[in-house]
Chain A
């Protein structure tokens, strides 16, 4: 399945990227295709294109702060979870899909 995700935490230097790495690793193990956009202290990195979003079945928001550009995901299934969940219980997160 194609999945898009956004990770963001208040400081945006460590957790944001740890969560992104975990999501990518577990998605691969489960045979999903995932692209993770990080919204950290450096701003938006690995930005999701309109095409990425259009092709994805579901969006995962692993965030402690507001998602920038939320309107891009309008109308699609969104799973929003606290960032910690993506780091600690990554598998359960994918179970929610």
Chain B
């Protein structure tokens, strides 16, 4: 059972790994076009700026391919090459019926397992050559298409609409809880599967036109490496020579939004480091959420500042999270001995 879940996660993450560049490309091109177009009450006005309109259209094209790529490669991961066609078509239809990334993930899974099933059907050796090029793609895609449009599509589209609605109208209390959870997840394994789950929740919502969840993630993403880097500068005696060097690298990684910069510190001293970076990231994501920071790029850290709205709140969120991380780890290190030498050995 556990083995199955692990495989399932691997398939999902394979799809995500192919989809991320599409979100990045679409999100940033759209953000650039909107940033330079005159803002009106009905949104940005492209009527006098054909170039910006074009950039916006190109970004939208990348977005509209994203769901196909996500579903297609989830299915590909499960069923190999024959999985691509039903996955891509299913993802395209998920976009059409507005079932969003949830629909695309589901349809990718269903398509992949369906193709695996069809592959197992015994066929005569005269039929075998046409299985991969004719029978499997046609049968699986027809089935997937019908399932997506007639069965799964509508309920998922409702669910997505409801979820978006809930996020949009979420009370302050609930949004703070969401931000706390996201912040904790982002920092907990520094770029690992839990971090990526929170991250893709935010990134997937960008394509749905919901930017605040990503905004909260973006602030949380950079505070672990920034905070630990700052801590090595604050009280140098608390850290080893190696950690001084890692601290500078960590600051640089933090600036470009790579949480992984914190790993060298966490690997050698997880018990003390991980709670502190979680605290910092939670502070950062809550402030970003309260400040209504929206991020249109599926990435975090100071580097995305130019595609973020409510920039001041974003900067404030990052600074606060960084300070909280740096101060808490310094205090913890001052007043406690290292919990175990074995942990250091593992690094």
Contact = CB atoms under 8 A, between A and B. Distances in A.
Most buried by B among A8, A10, A18, A64: A10
Nearest to A71: B80
Nearest to B200: A10
A64 B42 CA distance: 43
B10 A14 contact: no
Interface in B240-265: 253, 258, 260, 263
Kindly state the interface size class of chain A when it binds its partner. 20 to 34
Interface string B73-97: 0000100000000000000000000
A88 B78 CA distance: 28
Contacts of B263: 18, 87
A44 B189 CA distance: 25
Interface string A42-70: 00000000000000000000011110000
Contact of A64 (B13, B20, B260): B13
Given A18-B260, A66-B77, A11 B20 contact: yes
A64 B267 contact: no
Contacts of B110: none
Interface string B89-131: 0000000000000000000000000000000000000000000
A87 B20 contact: no
A65 B253 CA distance: 23
B343 to A, nearest CB: 10
5 nearest A-B pairs in the assembled complex, by CB-CB distance: A14-B260, A65-B14, A66-B77, A10-B13, A10-B17
Given A15-B192, A66-B11, 6 more contacts: A12-B17, A18-B263, A41-B21, A66-B77, A82-B193, A88-B346
15 contacts: A8-B17, A9-B191, A10-B13, A10-B14, A11-B17, A13-B258, A14-B260, A15-B191, A41-B20, A64-B10, A64-B193, A65-B10, A66-B14, A66-B77, A82-B193
